[in-house]
Chains A and B, each alone.
Chain A
Amino acid sequence: MRLEPRPSSSMAATLLWPAGAILATILLSSLLVMIAGASPFTVFWLVVKGAAGSQFALLETFTRATPLIFTGLAVAVAFRARLWNIGAEAQLYLGAVMTVVLGTGAVALPSAGLIPVIMIAAMLTGALTLLGPAILKTRFGVDEVVTTLLLNFIVLLFVSMLLEGPLKDPTGMGWPQSKRMIADAQLPRLIKGKRLHFGFVLAVVSALIVWVIMKKTTLGYEMRAVGHNAEAARFAGIPVNRVIAKTALLSGGLAALAGFSEVAGLKGNLTLDLSPGYGYTGIVVAMLAMLNPLGVIVAAIFVAGIFVGADAMSRSANVPSYIAQVMVAISLLTMVAAIMLMRYRVRWR
């Protein structure tokens, strides 16, 4: 078999293949649900109800989508320029560290000044975290996939060290957790008494800003050019290494915002289980969105819905909530295959 580019982008292929990917994901996970001894219809109904069946469920899904929008954007931006940032997890955690360092009383400012200061500092921390691997890539030719992956482990151990050392909450009964953020440093809740916080608005606004950067600015054009063909971009006079460095700063900063908003908006302090793999799930979100910043919002809500819905489902049906992770992984693989088949036609001969 061989692949041929489709002469023009066909409307049917653009719609049918992604729909097929979602259908395949549902069919394959139904199989697993049946192996677990439950009825797929009941289980998927419970997942949908748990994700969107009530105001509480919907708000919970949006809350869970917030960090995923940030990490999804981080990955989308980086992958567009073919900078393989698999280290959003590390950037998220270091952003969170900076957030608690500044937000637990070290800086005294009124809320309207304090929150932006913390936010920018967190972004800078995440940006610099990815700048390291980016420079190793451009200067020494070290593959950034491996360095960003290994950094995830280093950073998590570093955070663990901080939480048992300088950042440890003395009143935390010995648990490795940071002190709580002061009230002025916390993001307001969107609805009184609910968990959904201002971080969600920040995430949506960030997606819009990233969309503008990618579509309307020279930097966005250069990033796409580098991602499309670095050699050709260099030949055309684009400073490839500088573009990669700028991409790294933007991507790392966005991932750090996930950590910032989780701490300042939701949790109020830093613990080692702040992120259940949001950095890695961001890769799925970005691919489902086909690296489109606005698509990231939709994809993040979709993925968050699967997680929130599966949690609710596993409480009433006897199917482990790990089914959510399996579904997300399958959707990633089927979607990348679908995107390929959208653009290419398979010829058997």
Chain B
Amino acid sequence: MSEALEILFTASFWVAAIRIASPLIFATMGELICERAGVLNLGIEGIMVAGAFSGWFTVYMGGDLWTGVLVAAMTGAMFGLLHGFLTVPLGLSQHVTGIGVTLLASSLTYFSYRILLPEVTSPPKIEPFQPFAVPLLSDIPVLGPALFNQTPLTYLAYFTVAAVALVFYRTPLGVAVRAVGENPAAVEAQGISVTALRIGAVMAGSALMAIGGAFLTMSAFNSFFFEMINGRGWIAIALVVFGSWRPGKALIGAILFAAFDAYQVRLQQITGGVIPYQIFLMMPFVLSIVALVVVARRATYPKALMIPYQKGER
């Protein structure tokens, strides 16, 4: 039993937790931006697949790692544009369209993989982002290496949270985006286009989701596998609800979740096969549902979430 507790005090555990949290942070921030603007984006799972592949493939073809991140973000933004166009001006069901975008993005990715790499049997590897120890900060015991001996993409994830919070709460653009998810008619009355604002938010959010996918192929691992996203997108959607649509709370949720995930892997090793490994793998998904039930009562959805807006209508 003490062995199970000791895990929590090792630096390597927290290093792993932050690494597992990083793609979730990107994805959760991405979904949060979409939903705050009033658009549920169920395309997230497929967009992460597309981002994971496009970023990795750019580097595989000789591109720079940061170019890969940029390509992933642009790929995500393109799928965001598609989702935004179908759900905002056309007002199609956000559920069905999102599932469609997920199916399209993932199947297009698998199709491209087969076309671009027809001969490969085992997935080729790239040289991924390497950990970079931030001087001084990484010397703090336990927390130092966990937070500040990570790859640059993890630092970008921290920066993203700060940037999203800053834009949301300190800039006119952020106020407009939040307002468009609460009361689009009021935004339109100010002479701002609801359509442009919402599509823009969905594109920006989708770009972040794609970077979240790219984190897996370019930082956590070094190659692309089918099914590697494995429900992370859906978990990000749960994390947005858990975080009450606030960047800071969502960040804490993502880290807690990742810590739990890192913990179950280690617990699995300690228990040594007495409990079927599937039970441990199930826990993150079960935990997400439990978390949703716990917060559901006091969840305050953006008021215009999933409600299409028509000019001149109230």
Contacts and interface: CB of A to CB of B under 8 A. Distances in A.
Given A143-B292, A150-B238, A84 B90 contact: no
B132 to A, nearest CB: 33
B89 interface: yes
B86 interface: yes
A326 B103 CA distance: 8
Contacts of B279: 161
Chain B interface size band reads 35 or more
A307 B59 CA distance: 33
A332 B234 contact: no
A212 interface: no
A109 interface: no
B86 A333 contact: yes
Given A32-B111, A283-B99, A325-B103, A140 B237 contact: no
B102 to A, nearest CB: 8
Q: Is the interface of B mostly helix, strand, loop or mixed?
A: helix
Interface string A144-165: 0111011101100110110011
B107 A325 contact: yes
B235 A329 contact: no
Contacts of B276: 161, 164-165
Q: Is the interface of A mostly helix, strand, loop or mixed?
A: helix
A146 B40 CA distance: 11
Contact of B107 (A145, A149, A283, A322): A322
B86 A153 contact: no
Contacts of A142: 289, 292-293, 296
Contact of A157 (B90, B282, B288): B282
A136 B278 contact: no
Given A325-B103, A333-B97, A333-B104, A3 B234 contact: no
Interface in A1-48: 1-3, 32, 35-36
Given A161-B276, A329-B100, A337-B90, A322 B114 contact: yes
Contacts of A333: 82, 86, 97, 100-101, 104
A283 to B, nearest CB: 6
A160 B103 contact: no
Contacts of B115: 35-36, 320
A141 interface: yes
A1 B90 CA distance: 9
B93 A336 contact: yes
Nearest to A164: B276
Interface string A286-323: 01000000000000000000000000000000001011
Contacts of A146: 234, 237-238, 241, 288-289, 292
A254 interface: no
B73 to A, nearest CB: 22
Contact of A136 (B90, B293, B299): B293
Interface string B208-233: 00000000000000000000001100
B109 to A, nearest CB: 9
A340 B310 contact: no
A145 B288 CA distance: 13
Contact of A326 (B108, B241, B310): B108
A185 interface: no
A321 to B, nearest CB: 9
B86 A337 contact: yes
Contacts of B104: 326, 329-330, 333
Interface string B294-311: 001101000000000011
Nearest to B275: A161
Given A36-B115, A322-B110, A336 B103 contact: no
Contacts of A325: 103, 106-107, 110-111
B197 to A, nearest CB: 16
Contact of A161 (B95, B101, B103, B278): B278
Contacts of A81: none
Contacts of B299: 141
A15 B58 CA distance: 43
B241 A3 contact: no
A328 interface: yes
Given A3-B91, A141-B296, A326-B111, A153 B100 contact: no
A226 interface: no
A337 B92 contact: yes
Given A147-B289, A154-B282, A330-B104, A141 B297 contact: yes
Interface string B115-129: 100000000000000
B69 to A, nearest CB: 25
B258 interface: no
Contact of A320 (B111, B241, B278, B310): B111
Q: Which of A143, A146, A150, A165 has the most CB of B within 10 A?
A: A150
A77 interface: no
Interface in A81-103: 84, 86
Given A86-B99, A146-B234, A337-B90, A320 B282 contact: no
B24 interface: no
A336 B100 contact: yes
B106 to A, nearest CB: 8
B297 A157 contact: no
A162 B101 CA distance: 33
A150 B90 contact: no
Interface string B80-92: 0010001001111
B141 interface: no
A165 B276 CA distance: 9
A145 B103 contact: no
A154 B234 CA distance: 13
A153 B283 CA distance: 10
23 contacts: A2-B311, A3-B310, A79-B96, A141-B299, A142-B292, A146-B237, A146-B241, A147-B292, A150-B234, A151-B289, A153-B234, A158-B282, A283-B96, A283-B99, A320-B111, A322-B111, A322-B114, A326-B111, A329-B104, A332-B96, A333-B97, A333-B100, A336-B86
Lowest 9 A-B CB distances belong to which pairs?
A325-B107, A320-B114, A329-B104, A329-B103, A161-B278, A322-B111, A157-B278, A332-B100, A333-B100
